[in-house]
Structure 1
Amino acid sequence: MLDDKTREDEIKTALATVERLNAYVATGQSLDRLSRICAVQENEIQEFMAGAVVRGDRHSTVFYQYREPLARIRDYLDTLAALDDDAAYAVTPTFQRVQSLIAQAHQGNIIVAITGAWGIGKSQAARYYAATHPRRYNQPGAVHVPLNETENSPRQVLGKILHHLGVPAGRQSQRSMMQTVLGIFRPGDHLILDECQKIKEALEVLSALHDEAGIGITMIGNPAFSRAVWGEADDFPALASRAHRFDFPANTEADVDAWLAWHGFPPGLDTRQRAAFEREAIRIGTSGKSWGGLRALSHATRMFQTAYTGTLLTAENLNSFIAMSKKGGLTPRKSA
């Protein structure tokens, strides 16, 4: 039998884990993956998110059924935190601007659309905002929902939103699912929908959700999303008229400078090589193409240094590596 002090310490630890769990789910992470890795039933995770630990009798054995599954979840979140230490966010001007726009949508309960080129950091900024303003069982906040091509109907989009709110969708009708979503959202909540270009005709549900839920929505997508809603076809007039759109056609030179300051230059380069590398990084980072942006720079530098240990990552090798990657090959030129 545990003494009162030990019991209270365990309860505090459990509640802290639940807070971290809510923050994790708010960033759009998969409950399925968490359930598999931690060997905890998905419905049990949903109970934790809904505050089951708080509702339990703290002086009975009911609370202690949560100890082992919560410990496994805590270990997994600790592991992710350790990995994230090596993948911190480069705070670029574009990153800060996207953060500000999401905050405006959240605070003003409006629809904001953030569109732009691939790899400029839109999704990264969205996940960061959700992680730092998470929706919890006892407190409103943001939830980040990454979409994919399988969500090709309003009902499937609503089901995905429910999934990331920690609520099973079941076999409900579209209208029933909408009522469930509306019953969950509270004043002060915010919905961030990412990769909106992938849901096509299901976009029609978003304006209705905003009207009925009374919460702000941030929509994020690439140029295909922009063309679908604001292009000549005018297929989604209700959404186009409600959303405040902000377009980021490419990263800026200031973004690349901030990324270089955060990431650092590849080791072993002399002054001339560093200057050449910066020029090449700016060219790639500000291209606005699918193979460019800060994401391409990050992937290329990491993959090159892993695959070609001992070879200097010069501007020439960076350019060659990205060019060969686009063609399906990974054979960079050797530095002198």
Structure 2
Amino acid sequence: MTEKVTDTQAPLDRIRAENIVDRIGSFVAAGVRVTRICAECESGINTAQLEKLLSEMRIPGTPQLGDWFAGRAEPHLLALEKWADEEDATGQLNLDEYAKTETFERVYGTLFAAHKARALVAITATYGIGKTFAARRYARDNPRRANEPGAVWFEFGPGTKGDSGVLDAILGALEPYSASSGNVSSKLGRILTILKPGDFLIADECGIPTEKGTGLRFMSYIHEQAGIPVAMIGNPSFHAAVWGKRSDYDALASRTKHISLDGNSDTDVDAWMDFKGITGRNLKKVVLLVVGQPGRDGGLRGAETVLSELRSRGLDVTAENFLETAKLFGRMG
């Protein structure tokens, strides 16, 4: 009897190899750290090898796979493919399974239009409604690769402060394999040199740098000087800083097309419940109560937290259990 050949045993031809490289590149564009990929990949690939693999695979006429890394390219690629499969199955960026909510479609559509028009846009809304997921999904669908322009998503971390902090975050997205260095002028010059027509910067958590300086003003300068689209995404603090009473961001506000979204809608909840396979009029009423909570406890993210806890404890997804669990986790005022 002939033994069945599995996918991992099958010959690694160029088409399959390029597909693996494209998948890994799309994760990087969507904000997955290269250090994490290398740490979790079972082949022992390091960041320098990963950078080489992702960049040279996209150049016509590069050496055959067996010549790379003293014959180690194929094991690395197979291990990366396994990592990507596992990430799609269990990670936060499972692109094949998600609820197509009205909010998701609006955020995704805004980014698509901005990319096409090379526009400077801002999307502001309350917490937990799905802005970040839609943005990362867009970056994965339209990724910036080593030798091809495209979208890259990144977020400003809690420690982002001042001009240098904003530029460091941008450089970290554009050059994820090396540390940022130099003064503000050199960092800005490096960013403008790297960016090419067709690139798209998608910056998330934009409220953080507005609380600790005026570095976010570089976003409009980069948009104008590089001629590339830029999207800024943030919560109420971002909205208040740029379109509120402060005057230090007036120039940015005047140059930016601003989309202000409400919280998750009734149709968002319908789509989410359908996707999760849960039904019931009374259950929907409770989910809407959780989703409508003010501040960081609301949105579909709040409902997702409650549902995950219910299922982890083996409880039936009823209106009563959903409400009690929501209260337990502080998702109800």
| TM tier relative to shorter chain | 0.7 to 0.9
Pick the aligned partner of 2:304 from 298, 302, 306: 298
Q: Secondary structure at the match of 1:199?
A: helix
The verdict on how the C-alpha distance between 1:110 and 1:319 changes in structure 2, with shifts beyond 3 A counting, is same
Residue 307 of structure 2 contacts residue 322 of structure 2 at CA under 8 Å; is this kept in 1?
A: yes
Pick the aligned partner of 2:241 from 228, 242, 252: 228
Is residue 196 of structure 1 aligned with residue 206 of structure 2? yes
The total of aligned residue pairs comes to 314
1:281-326, Cα deviation, whole Å (9 max, x unpaired): 122223453211111111111112212x1x3332232222122212
Aligned match of 1:82: 89
Residue 31 of structure 1 contacts residue 164 of structure 1 at CA under 8 Å; is this kept in 2?
A: no
1:75 Cα deviation from its structure 2 partner = 1.5
Aligned match of 1:73: 80
Unaligned runs of 5+ in 1: 1-7, 267-273, 329-336
Aligned match of 1:210: 223
Unaligned runs of 5+ in 2: 1-10
- TM-score w.r.t. the length of structure 2 is 0.86
2: CA distance between counterparts of 1:140 and 1:105? 15
Q: Which moved more, 1:118-127 or 1:316-325?
A: 316-325
Is residue 103 of structure 1 aligned with residue 107 of structure 2? no
Is residue 27 of structure 1 aligned with residue 30 of structure 2? yes
Which letter does structure 1 place at the counterpart of 2:185? R
Q: Which moved more, 1:227-236 or 1:43-52?
A: 43-52
Aligned match of 1:45: 50
Residue 30 of structure 1 contacts residue 164 of structure 1 at CA under 8 Å; is this kept in 2?
A: no
1:50-85, Cα deviation, whole Å (9 max, x unpaired): 235746322873463422322222211111122255
2: CA distance between counterparts of 1:46 and 1:276? 52
Which letter does structure 2 place at the counterpart of 1:109? R
Residue 26 of structure 1 contacts residue 134 of structure 1 at CA under 8 Å; is this kept in 2?
A: yes
Identity, in percent, stands at 31
- TM-score w.r.t. the length of structure 1 is 0.85
1: CA distance between counterparts of 2:252 and 2:144? 25
Which letter does structure 2 place at the counterpart of 1:11? R
Residue 251 of structure 1 contacts residue 288 of structure 1 at CA under 8 Å; is this kept in 2?
A: no
Q: Secondary structure at the match of 2:295?
A: coil
Q: Which moved more, 1:43-52 or 1:108-117?
A: 43-52
The verdict on how the C-alpha distance between 1:91 and 1:53 changes in structure 2, with shifts beyond 3 A counting, is closer
Is residue 116 of structure 1 aligned with residue 125 of structure 2? yes
Pick the aligned partner of 1:139 from 148, 173, 194: 148
1: CA distance between counterparts of 2:309 and 2:320? 16
